[in-house]
Structure 1
Amino acid sequence: MESFVERFGLWSADQRKQAQEVIERLKSGEVDVVRFAWPDQHGMLRGKTLVAHAAQDALLEGVNLTSTLLAKDTSHRTVFPVFSAGGGFDNAGMQGGADFKIVPDPGTFRVLPWSPRTGWVLCDAFTTDGKPCLFGTRQILQRAVGELDVMGLEFVAGLEVEFHVFKLDDPSLRLEHAGQPGEPPRVSLLTQGHQYLTELRYDRVEPLMDLLRSHLIALGLPLLSLEIEFGPSQFELVFGPTAGLVPADTMVLLRSAIKQICQRHGYHATFMCRPRIPNVMSSGWHLHQSLRSKPDGRNAFVPQDDATALSPLGMHYLAGLKAHARGAAPLASPTINGYRRYRPFSLAPDRAIWARDNRGAMLRVLGGAGQNATRIENRVGEPTANPYLYLASQIFSGLDGMRRQLDPGPSADAPYETPADQLPLSLGDALAALRADTVLAEQLGTRFVEYYCHIKEAEIARFNLEVSEWEHREYFDMF
């Protein structure tokens, strides 16, 4: 009898070969369990853990998950009427909490170095009739990469990720701390901050840095550097360029890995953009991107001479990123907290502009004639972003610029003074900009955009129900 994968032709010839290799490893007794991990709408990994002999069948049959997982906001609350007709998704196959399947991509299999004898594999979401799930974000990026492939081009990206790590003082697991979400853990600093890139600060946290380095390299991630960032207990990791889906797969794995590794050793790691701690500095996710010619491996952004910052194709791609910056904002910064980062003169952008090697610009162009590392650095993202949506938004925006041969205009050498479209100042404004961007809505899928906005608007509604400390301090005594 044909398996689910075989019945619907879900794997390429390479994936079938990779799956057989994984099955042989499972039969050898190398691992005891396998985590089947699926990146959800927030880019957070969910899934099930199967014992090794059951994992062999699951490689070909997939693993069933409840479709209510697709209905969750960041508090893990279900924000769609899943027991109504269509389950709130306008899809009869998803009502009543019906199942969907996650099917492994066998080429992503690896053994987790911090969890002895544990395998891990990344999965894609399918409905039970073998169709790609409309809300599967990894498949949205696959479509974007596929559009470039038809043009003989490959998306290449390097990651520059900031985050915080604290000493875990109290995990807040007492009964009264339960909730949705629960009470956050109580922490203390590892460094006081404000000594950017000093060797003294690095040496103070070398045990932590060595712990992360050894595990991330053991995972096969292209780690290049570990750095002390400006803020208290703030760090940055830089990863070398990879192509296609790999940069996004790297991002979901490294975030989950860092949190798990730190948790096991008495630390708390967070990718939240701006934690509520004194003298905090916001964390960003700078995405370095270029296109590569598949026939000859040439960087398609390299200009012929120094008269232009990028090749004609690169300039059109850059113009597309600029033109769709507002619409792409909620995919690059998907949390309410992330919009606290966009401040003038803060090394974070506040408007849609580009410039040559200027860290105040949203789009920083690096390299030039004869430099194979020529690229665009987009500085708009926060490290909580779902990487599949963030990268897909970049490709779809760049493709539109290329197809319409858009001009990005001149380099903005005074990035906080140059007149330009302002980036959204709130998540609500960003969602409105996404809905108004007909190109991105069509490319991402109009049903997906409405679905995504519905989840994010549910988060905003919950936020607006809370009385903030600022309001209480401002009005409680005065009036």
Structure 2
Amino acid sequence: MGSTFIQRHGLWTAEQQEQADRIAAQVTEQGLRQVRVAWGDQHGILRGKTLEAGHFQSVLRNGKDFQTATLIFDTTNNPAVPPFAADGFGDPRMTGLPDGVLVPDPSTFRVLPWLDRTGWVLCNLHYRSGEVVPFDTRGILQSQLSQLSNEGYGFVAGIELEFYITKLEDPCLSFESSGYPPDPPRVTAVSHGFQYLTENRGDEITGILDILRDNVVALGLPLATIEDEWGPGQTEFTFDVMEGLRAADSAILLRSAIKQLCRRNGYHATFMSRPALPNAFSSGWHLHQSLSSADVENTFAGGADEVLSDTGRHWMGGLLEHARSCSLLSTPTVNGYKRYLPDSFAPDRIAWAEENRGALVRVAGGRGDENTHLENRVGEPAANPYLYLASQVISGRDGLRNKLDPGPSADEPYLTEAERLPGSLEEAVQLFTSSSLLRAELGDPFVEYLSTVKGSEVKRFNAAVTDWEQREYFEVY
């Protein structure tokens, strides 16, 4: 019997081989009907296929064919380039949009609790040669974490994701409503809101929150808190700290699970940062982070005199130095830039401060506190988890390498003299494209690729006639 695709190309560690053996037995013992093989695309949206259990046993060793055509789509599946001229990204292997191979990562396997005997596993996208597709964002984060490990550190992340839960009134599923993009669903509020962190407002939607909580815990995700935010139905889920790759994997699964569970129960969840709902507050993604080493659990903690160690300060220096050029990775939508407003609990400029939620980077903790770490408040909840975390590792590694100094703390972050964050996705694309660090770390093909895909989104936005323009000009001119 010949070697399998995964064996032939050496795509698994010995530990993953053992995990795959256990999964194969679990599928049989638990009588699973089917398994979803999932891949996080360039936008951090899960794509994939649902396989019969018997077929999955073969796929577990050989991978599953999958169209690389999915790589050329913007958020609404508009091709960013002519479909059969995809070699314009600088990788001739993409010419003609050949099939790739989804290779499961056995460490991510789990049973989905809201479905009947259905498994789920995350994959990386490879070419048939066995090479990783350079546009696979999970692979990009894995590469960055591997380089960081070679430098003696492990990346630890804590996730805080905000989102809206709304009551689904009309999904707008007519053929006339479909298109690129389709009409958004019509929704109503599920609670009154505007009573931040109150028990009563959260209790108003405990029915759906209990469903979300029970399923998230059943998935094995380390849920810490469920919090009532400001807007009606605006909610935040926070998690215990996780190793970097697991944190990103958890975020991409969490978003998909929440959207599926809400839809199944007559609700619509959105991770759009600033939805066009009356009196809605923006939602953010606050990313807590620190580094571990072989002999120190948290290398960021300072001593009695300094809130941060030199390692923590240099890492933060890198985050600040490259915040503008990394904005495309932390805030990848047109809408996300409408969150950066003064006095909004979201940053609008490049500054840090101790225990101050107006700053881009907040130092959480204090002198002599061994749990002191950094909280980056720049991200939007729609960000691709792999690229958002990779941006932190790329920037932080550069900060360590060059011993970057973050400068003094900003006691008034919205008044301090500092560079502003980009004001638009268009500006963010330009900054991303011109970054020599990102080109060195991600490679020219990926930089050209992502800037082309997101640039297509910008062009469509600029070409659209908005409600604001209609109100502003239609009558007066």
Q: TM-score range by the shorter chain?
A: over 0.9
Counterpart position of 2:27: 26
For residues 266 and 232 of structure 2, the distance between their equivalents in structure 1, rounded to whole angstroms, comes to 18
Counterpart position of 2:448: 450
For 2:314, which of 310, 313, 316 is the aligned residue?
Answer: 316
Counterpart position of 1:52: 53
**Secondary structure at 2:326 match in 1:** helix
Farther-moved stretch of structure 1 (249-258 vs 87-96): 87-96
Which amino acid in the other structure matches residue 144 of structure 2? A
Pair 1:219 & 2:219 matched: yes
Counterpart position of 2:259: 259
Counterpart position of 2:385: 387
CA contact 1:82–1:95 (8 Å) conserved in 2: no
Which amino acid in the other structure matches residue 302 of structure 2? P
Q: Provide, for residues 277-317 of structure 1, a one-character-per-residue CA deviation record: whole Å limited to 9, x for no partner.
A: 10010000000000011x23520001122x22210111000
Counterpart position of 2:474: 476
In the TM superposition, what are the counterparts of 1:237-316 in structure 2 within 5 Å?
237-293=237-293, 295-305=294-304, 307-316=305-314
Instruction: Note the C-alpha offset of 1:268.
Output: 0.3
Q: Provide, for residues 442-464 of structure 1, a one-character-per-residue CA deviation record: whole Å limited to 9, x for no partner.
A: 11222101100100110011111
Residue segments in structure 1 that go unaligned for 5+ positions in a row: none
CA contact 2:364–2:372 (8 Å) conserved in 1: yes
**Secondary structure at 1:156 match in 2:** strand
In the TM superposition, what are the counterparts of 1:18-417 in structure 2 within 5 Å?
18-84=19-85, 87-293=87-293, 295-305=294-304, 307-417=305-415
**Secondary structure at 2:230 match in 1:** coil
For residues 97 and 396 of structure 2, the distance between their equivalents in structure 1, rounded to whole angstroms, comes to 37
CA contact 1:228–1:234 (8 Å) conserved in 2: yes
Instruction: Note the C-alpha offset of 1:430.
Output: 0.9
CA contact 2:307–2:368 (8 Å) conserved in 1: no
Counterpart position of 2:3: 2
CA contact 2:365–2:373 (8 Å) conserved in 1: yes
CA contact 1:80–1:87 (8 Å) conserved in 2: no
Instruction: Note the C-alpha offset of 1:88.
Output: 3.2
For residues 396 and 20 of structure 2, the distance between their equivalents in structure 1, rounded to whole angstroms, comes to 34
For residues 139 and 423 of structure 2, the distance between their equivalents in structure 1, rounded to whole angstroms, comes to 29
CA contact 1:165–1:235 (8 Å) conserved in 2: yes
Which amino acid in the other structure matches residue 80 of structure 1? V
For residues 282 and 308 of structure 1, the distance between their equivalents in structure 2, rounded to whole angstroms, comes to 34
For residues 360 and 89 of structure 2, the distance between their equivalents in structure 1, rounded to whole angstroms, comes to 35
* TM-score (structure 1 length as normaliser): 0.98
Q: How many residues align?
A: 476
CA contact 2:89–2:448 (8 Å) conserved in 1: no
CA contact 2:144–2:390 (8 Å) conserved in 1: yes
Residue segments in structure 2 that go unaligned for 5+ positions in a row: none
Which amino acid in the other structure matches residue 120 of structure 2? W
For residues 371 and 212 of structure 2, the distance between their equivalents in structure 1, rounded to whole angstroms, comes to 26
**Secondary structure at 1:83 match in 2:** helix
Percent identity, aligned pairs only, is 50
Instruction: Note the C-alpha offset of 1:175.
Output: 2.3
CA contact 2:90–2:445 (8 Å) conserved in 1: no
CA contact 2:244–2:389 (8 Å) conserved in 1: no
CA contact 2:89–2:446 (8 Å) conserved in 1: no
Q: Provide, for residues 84-113 of structure 1, a one-character-per-residue CA deviation record: whole Å limited to 9, x for no partner.
A: 3x5433333322231011100001000000
For residues 112 and 432 of structure 2, the distance between their equivalents in structure 1, rounded to whole angstroms, comes to 37
Which amino acid in the other structure matches residue 427 of structure 1? L
Which amino acid in the other structure matches residue 449 of structure 1? V
For residues 414 and 368 of structure 2, the distance between their equivalents in structure 1, rounded to whole angstroms, comes to 30
Q: Provide, for residues 455-474 of structure 1, a one-character-per-residue CA deviation record: whole Å limited to 9, x for no partner.
A: 01100111111111111111
Instruction: Note the C-alpha offset of 1:29.
Output: 4.3
For residues 121 and 372 of structure 1, the distance between their equivalents in structure 2, rounded to whole angstroms, comes to 36
Q: Provide, for residues 209-245 of structure 1, a one-character-per-residue CA deviation record: whole Å limited to 9, x for no partner.
A: 1111100000000101111100122111111100130
Instruction: Note the C-alpha offset of 1:30.
Output: 3.0
For residues 412 and 30 of structure 2, the distance between their equivalents in structure 1, rounded to whole angstroms, comes to 60
Instruction: Note the C-alpha offset of 1:28.
Output: 2.1
**Secondary structure at 1:212 match in 2:** helix
Farther-moved stretch of structure 1 (388-397 vs 200-209): 200-209
**Secondary structure at 2:84 match in 1:** coil
For residues 30 and 197 of structure 2, the distance between their equivalents in structure 1, rounded to whole angstroms, comes to 44
RMSD over equivalenced CA pairs, Å: 1.1
CA contact 2:156–2:291 (8 Å) conserved in 1: yes
**Secondary structure at 2:102 match in 1:** strand
